[in-house]
Structure 1
Amino acid sequence: MRARRWRDRLKAEWLLLAFALLTLALALADPQPIAAWRRWLQGPTLAGLAGLLIAIQGIRDSAMVQHVAALLVARAHSLRSLGLLLVTATALLSMVLTNDVSLFVLVPLTVVIGGLSNLPVLRMVVLEALAVNAGSTLSPIGSPQNLLLWQHGQLSFLGFAWAMAPAAVMMFALVAALTWIWLPRDRVALAPQALDRQSVARGLAALSTIALAAMVVLMEYGHAALGAGVLLLVFVLAAPRSLARVDWLLLLTFAAIFLGLGHLAELPAVNATLDRLDFSQPLTLYLSGIIASQLISNVPATVLLLERAHDPITLAIAVNVGGFGLAIGSLANLIALRLARQPHGLRALHQASVPFLLVSAPLVYLAWRWLG
């Protein structure tokens, strides 16, 4: 029985194991100094993720999400209208709070709504993963790759957003169309347990909401480690049970991904291949950004191509489009699936996201070239 539990646990954490093995294999094949490992680990990003996980777990345990979900369900007329509301909210939040933070807010809400109604949770979470990618494309602070390219290109905030607008509008229009097509036309039906509402733990709800807002602000100003440390201490003292339920293995998974992909992107063979490409051609840079994102995720792809790119906007559009397709294309995809914890989530994501990439890539390129 214990062996079976371990097998099930290892099967659930296959992504952690895969990237841990990749990291180990690269470490043996291509030894690097400690400084390189520190750079690949992306400590501030991991610290920010830890703080968000702590705050969101507190919000979940307070039952505040359940009450908000019940209010939304009670006012929705159809699954399609509810889906469009959630997709739009996800896209708008991602422009301000970044793509991963918006998922931390909306995916738990979506899971609860699915428990209260007939909303297909997995389809909705996949749509939200696509929506954060579309929404965050518009904003210079919507994603790590946009922030990096905005600063590197020395563009104004509005100048960057204006240049990205044709691509972002096309992406969101496609996500909205998919939402309308993919969700059932049925009316929202409340489940019987929706009437049995748990009372909100107001103290925990207030603490966790303040913690979430503070963490976002501290991340924006480069103090993610300080924020995570303070939140850890506060929750140890005020809400240790919530702290114990935090998905700490998700942090380990991202650490393994950062180390493995960071090392892979700096291999001599990878750089030699890139040196043969002409990145002064917009289409070459666009396709390279998309393909690199599918192989090593869009943030490492941005770092890999940054110094070779003659046009930061072309690269920005490419790596944002590259967030569609394979789950590894954007770490936001992996966060959405992990937060939802739905059976066959990876399969459902790929069934929607891979065709979505194939359709959106040429349309976004044409919209950007004609209207940009």
Structure 2
Amino acid sequence: MQKIARYLLQDKILVVSASCACIGLTCGRPQMSDINWSTIENLFSLMVCVQILQSFQILNTCSSQMLHHSANTRQICRLFILLAFFSAMFLTNDVAILTLVPMFINLAQQQKIETAYPLTLIVIAANLGSALTPMGNPQNLFLINFYHLNITTFFKLAAPLAGASFILLMFFCTFLPNQPIITHHRNKKVIKWPAWLLAGGLIAINLGGIFNLVPKQMAVIVTVVCGWIIDRQIYQRLDYALLLTFVCFFIFVSELNHNQAITQAIQALIQSPAAVYLLGLITSQFISNVPTVILLAKFTQAVPALFLGVNIGGLGSIVASLANLLALKQLIQLNKTTQIRVFIKVFTWVNFLSLLILGILGFFYLQWR
């Protein structure tokens, strides 16, 4: 029991979310029915799926191949950014960051690359790339479950943001450091086709479960059984603190929703899609985009505005997205304390610039559509 408590208390994000849930008791009394267990269930299944994918070392192999085929540091940084963008669509932004950040930092040390700017773009790429798929980030999962979106509706919402994000990232990539590659470290591990087939099948069945194309319980059971057969140690590596963090978020938002003054203020503020969009952007900067979408969804049917608001709202402050905090936590865990101040400075400038650009584009897109 002490070991479990120590493990949970070491997760600062969980501690903060649990503290918010406790403080929120002064605002209102939460209801267990307000916890979206379907989202928690989907998140658990995806976490198992991701651990299975990681056990196949797909990302490690890809990064090794990228280094082998890169002629300079700009190319390798760009490839890491692209890998973050596209892998986050299927492995979630959190997992993309947890996997790629340590790999990139180690590579940057070998190649003597200044990490702050490329690392910032990797985090931004993971956040923006994850917006294209329902499994990419928790706010998308919640929106699909809460509004019962079908697959066509969802991708119509996500595609314009993904396209604009990709163009913006490629523009930022032109400012990456451009130095010759010092050495090549090639991983000769070959991933056999059954592993690729199983990985694709698990992603497909989880996607089907999210969109109710197959029974959700079946998707969860198949994923859990596959994980148990492939590697039972998977269940020791799962980030249970992340699941508890989202439970705390649901509780905190439930407390706010049961405070009459807060609900009246929100209802007064979100009288139009533009207001929903702007409130999503702004609120995310202070309480993160996942609690924001949970808080606002109850009061609006303006799904496009809310979707864009919370996904673009993941840019900006260091607390705007859990993925941002995870990247910072990775730096701390890797004992890169001398780089943290520089990283936060660069991260803040580039993120707020990205927020400004995409925020303006998103606003005019909502007016146009």
Q: Are 1:284 and 2:286 an aligned pair?
A: no
Cα distance per residue 1:135-192 (max 9 Å; x no partner): 34456776554563799497882x76556655544433333333332x322223237x
Aligned match for 1:108, one of 99, 113, 120: 99
Q: What's the Cα RMSD here?
A: 4.4
Aligned counterpart, 2:11: 13
TM-superposed deviation, 1:76:
0.9
Aligned counterpart, 1:50: 47
Q: Are 1:323 and 2:308 an aligned pair?
A: no
Letter in 2 for 1:15: I
TM-superposed deviation, 1:235:
4.6
Letter in 2 for 1:189: I
User: What pairs with 1:98-177 in structure 2 (closer than 5 Å)?
Assistant: 101=92, 104=95, 108-109=99-100, 111-112=102-103, 114-116=105-107, 117-118=110-111, 123-137=117-131, 143=137, 145-146=139-140, 148=143, 152=147, 157=152, 161=155, 167-177=161-171
User: What pairs with 1:109-258 in structure 2 (closer than 5 Å)?
Assistant: 109=100, 111-112=102-103, 114-116=105-107, 117-118=110-111, 123-137=117-131, 143=137, 145-146=139-140, 148=143, 152=147, 157=152, 161=155, 167-181=161-175, 183-190=176-183, 194=185, 210=198, 213-215=201-203, 217-222=205-210, 227=219, 231-232=223-224, 234-236=226-228, 238-241=230-233, 243-258=235-250
CA distance in 1, matches of 2:206, 2:219: 6
Letter in 2 for 1:101: T
TM-superposed deviation, 1:323:
1.3
TM-superposed deviation, 1:87:
2.5
CA distance in 2, matches of 1:297, 1:139: 19
The change in CA–CA distance for 1:156 and 1:43 in structure 2 (over 3 A counts) is: closer
TM-superposed deviation, 1:322:
0.8
CA distance in 2, matches of 1:128, 1:368: 25
The change in CA–CA distance for 1:294 and 1:102 in structure 2 (over 3 A counts) is: closer
CA distance in 2, matches of 1:154, 1:65: 30
TM-score by length of 2: 0.72
**Alpha carbons 1:166, 1:364 under 8 Å: kept:** no
CA distance in 2, matches of 1:233, 1:141: 20
CA distance in 2, matches of 1:245, 1:163: 34
CA distance in 1, matches of 2:180, 2:327: 25
* Residue-pair matches, total: 353
Partner secondary structure for residue 319 of structure 1: helix
The change in CA–CA distance for 1:52 and 1:354 in structure 2 (over 3 A counts) is: same
Q: Are 1:302 and 2:293 an aligned pair?
A: yes
The change in CA–CA distance for 1:145 and 1:104 in structure 2 (over 3 A counts) is: closer
CA distance in 2, matches of 1:71, 1:309: 46
TM-superposed deviation, 1:296:
3.5
The change in CA–CA distance for 1:69 and 1:156 in structure 2 (over 3 A counts) is: closer
TM-superposed deviation, 1:214:
0.9
Letter in 1 for 2:13: L
Aligned counterpart, 1:4: none
The change in CA–CA distance for 1:335 and 1:255 in structure 2 (over 3 A counts) is: farther
Aligned counterpart, 1:3: none
Aligned counterpart, 2:264: 272
Partner secondary structure for residue 183 of structure 2: coil
**Alpha carbons 1:145, 1:302 under 8 Å: kept:** yes
TM-superposed deviation, 1:360:
2.4
**Alpha carbons 2:317, 2:348 under 8 Å: kept:** no
TM-superposed deviation, 1:17:
1.5
Structure 1 residue ranges without an equivalent (≥5):
1-7
TM-score by length of 1: 0.72
